[in-house]
Amino acid sequence: MINPEDNSSTPIIERKAASEPRNNWSSWFIGRPLSTADAPHQTISKMVGLAVFASDALSSNAYATQEIMAVLAVAGTMAFGYVFPIALAIVILLAVVSASYVQVIHAYPDGGGAYVVAQDNLGQVAGLVAASSLLTDYILTVSVSVSSGVAQIISAYPSAYEYRVWIGVAAVMFIMLINLRGVRESGAAISVPSMLFIMMMLLMIFAGLYQYLTGNLGIVLNPPEMSAHGAAALITPFLILHAFSSGTAALTGIEAISNGITAFKEPRSKNAAITLTWMAFILTILFLGISFLASRVGAVPSEVETVVSQMARTIFDGAGFFYFAVILFTTIILILAANTAFAGFPRLSALMAADGFLPRQLAYRGSRLVYSRGIVALAVISSLLIVAFQASVTRLIPLYAIGVFLSFTLAQFGMALRWRKVGNIKPGDSLVTSTRHTQLRYDPAWKMKMMLNGFGAICTAVVMMVFAVTKFKDGAYIVLALIPALIVVLWLIHRHYENLAKKLSLDNFGMLPPHTSRHRVIMPVSGVHQGTLAALRYARMLSDDVTAVHIVIEPDEAEKTRKKWEKWGEGVRMVMLDSPYRLFLEPLLEYVSGIAAQRQPGETLTIVVPEFIAENKWTSALHTNTANVLREELKNQHGIVITNVPYHVGEQNEL
């Protein structure tokens, strides 16, 4: 019997590997590999965190107002008077959601956002719903932000319109490369343009407000044709709600900081919460300023020229230096807004992979201490979306915000239940939750916090339903079907890992395997040469019971093999399998299966496969890689050991 408690005779030797990664093409692109000990030095400050995690939310100012106007345009330009009141309502919702996520940051300092909150307080199914929503949101964040950045370029250079898709894909690949270099490097790369974007937008807004107050604010000259025009539609509550739901794109990215708390310097919860507060404040000023001035200058929604572009050339009296500065930094921040998703998606997917809901490979950190596989996966999927939707922001937006607000709702409802648990704890006591092992302590303000989160959950749930109804025919139905499908996939992955863990578990493993009474070796032989003899010598080291098998495809070649084996086979028996249809694998597999079926208890069957190793990759293409093909087929058979014996031409065989 095996006694797992008795480890007195089990030596454990600890050594440190002296080998270091070699420099290769990836080192040139993404930088030298970082040691695990460097991880604490890769954390970021609040200012850099604002650039990394808030660029998506801040950049949404470039298109959120335009999306409101695009919906109202069906009722004519008179409806644009509702743009600012709708923006005020969205800002109120922004304040509620931001306050809620500040609480999430302090309650769950290890990150995970809505996924962890929902899983911890609402159960595993709710956690998967939140996770599916967030993953979908991150993918769409990259597609929408990059497509919007491309739209800014087209506004200044209309001749680039036909190349918009390839410009978008190239931008995604560029951001992927930046993020593969590490969190600090990606933050340093986008912090300067992020700050310049904020400064240029504030300059445009304050200049516009000054002109408005002094009566010098002009009207857009030569406005483009509206995406929708005419007065066929009436201004109805449904139209207002439709416009409101489109404008809530300004809230996307709010949750990103709560997912990436571990990227901040200590005290990380405090720094993350402060960064989120900064982001909400800046977002409020920019969104309200743009929404107020857009209708005052007579801007119209258009695929040809963005609202921001029309405002900038009106406020700055034409396409001068300040106009191009606004367009330049707006374009840069829109493209770099995808960085928020590249910072959040890999961290969330790594957390889910550790929980067994995504492939384990996503939990491994790359050479630069980032989850590089998640970064690459996000880049590929979002690029496919850009190609499929031809880099159109208007076509992508309907898919965008449903997942965002679903995760908002679950996070706030989960936090409300958490505060209710806190209220049931006596002062001075604590409670450890079941899933994330977070410790709850009594908080005298639990009622107020529960009401705040509960009210926020109701608001975001209403917005989500409004969005689903108003945007359903525009493409929202795709997300409504995609999220349940993604949940099923996540659940199947989890079930696979659970079943595998049960089969490999040592909890009830107490009996030693039976002693091997016989060891049989089968060695496929295609021809007799030095590589074959090297494999034969190794096979005879394993057992005296060795059988060579040759598949007879060409009788003349088989006869040559027979004569050589009689001379060099060292008396080992050979089975010549005639294959009249010139099949190689099928007869061999059938023979091995027959031997395996006749095995006695405790008998081991090993297949020794001679493998020729070419001098380089170029010459390897000149040879049939039979060994690998055979190994791939044989490894699916139970109870068979497969051993490859490589033979290098020009080297002495020392077996």
- The domain ranges of the chain are 43-496, 518-648
- Measured CA to CA, the distance from residue 481 to residue 551 in angstroms comes to 53
Q: Encode burial over 610-625: b for 16+ CB neighbours within 10 A, e otherwise.
A: bbbeeeeeeeeeeeee
pLDDT (tens digit per residue) in 431-477: 665 555 567 778 888 899 899 899 889 988 888 888 778 777 777 77
pTM of the shown model: 0.75
Q: How far apart are the C-alpha atoms of 631 and 94, rounded to whole Å?
A: 58
Phi, psi angles (nearest 5°) of residue 216: -110, 5
Most confident of 35-49, 496-510, 580-594: 580-594
Distance CA(484)–CA(468), nearest Å, equals 15
**End-to-end CA separation in angstroms for the chain:** 37
Mean pLDDT (whole number) for 349-372:
87
3-state helix, strand, coil in the chain (%, to 5): 65, 5, 30
CA torsion sign for 249, 251, 253, 256 is: negative
Distances (CA, A) of 582 to 148, 522, 578, 585: 59, 21, 9, 10
- In the predicted structure, residue 621 carries a pLDDT above the cut 80: no
Exposure string for 535-556, b = 16+ CB within 10 A, e = fewer: bbebbbebeeebebbbbbbeee
Distances (CA, A) of 344 to 49, 139, 261, 360, 651: 12, 10, 10, 17, 51
Q: Which two tokens stand for residue 575?
A: 């089975």
Query: What letter would DSSP give residue 450?
Result: H
- Indicate the range of 102-111, 139-148, 331-340, 383-392 predicted with least confidence: 331-340
What's the rounded Cα separation, in Å, for the pair 347 and 403? 18
Report the CATH fold assignment for 518-648. Rossmann fold (3.40.50)
Q: Are 142 and 172 in contact (CB under 8 A)?
A: yes
HEC secondary structure over 103-146:
HHHHHCCCCCHHHHHHHHHHCHHHHHHHHHHHHHHHHHHHHHHH
Confidence (pLDDT) at 654: 43
Alpha carbon distance 361, 48 (integer Å): 28
Confidence of residue 234 (pLDDT cuts 50, 70, 90): confident
What count of residues does the chain have?
655
Beta bridge partners of 440: 431
pLDDT of residue 161: 84
Q: Which residues pair with 546 in a beta bridge?
A: 521
Kind of pairing between the strands at 573-578 and 545-552: parallel
Of 378, 494, 467, 495, residue with least CA distance to 136: 378
Distance CA 536, CA 275 (A): 67
Question: What percent of the chain shows pLDDT beyond 70?
Answer: 86
Q: How far apart are CA 493 and CA 132, in angstroms?
A: 13
Superfamily name with CATH number, domain 43-496:
Amino acid/polyamine transporter I (1.20.1740.10)
**Location of structure tokens 């002495």:** 652
Spatial CA neighbour of 80 closest among 319, 254, 311: 311
> What span, in angstroms and rounded, lies between the C-alpha atoms of 138 and 126?
18
Question: pLDDT tens digits, residue range 552-596?
Answer: 888 888 899 999 999 999 999 999 998 888 788 888 888 888 888
What are the angstrom distances between the C-alpha of 89 and each of 92, 237, 239, 287, 294?
Answer: 5, 14, 15, 11, 17
Q: Binning pLDDT at 50, 70 and 90, where does residue 277 land?
A: very high
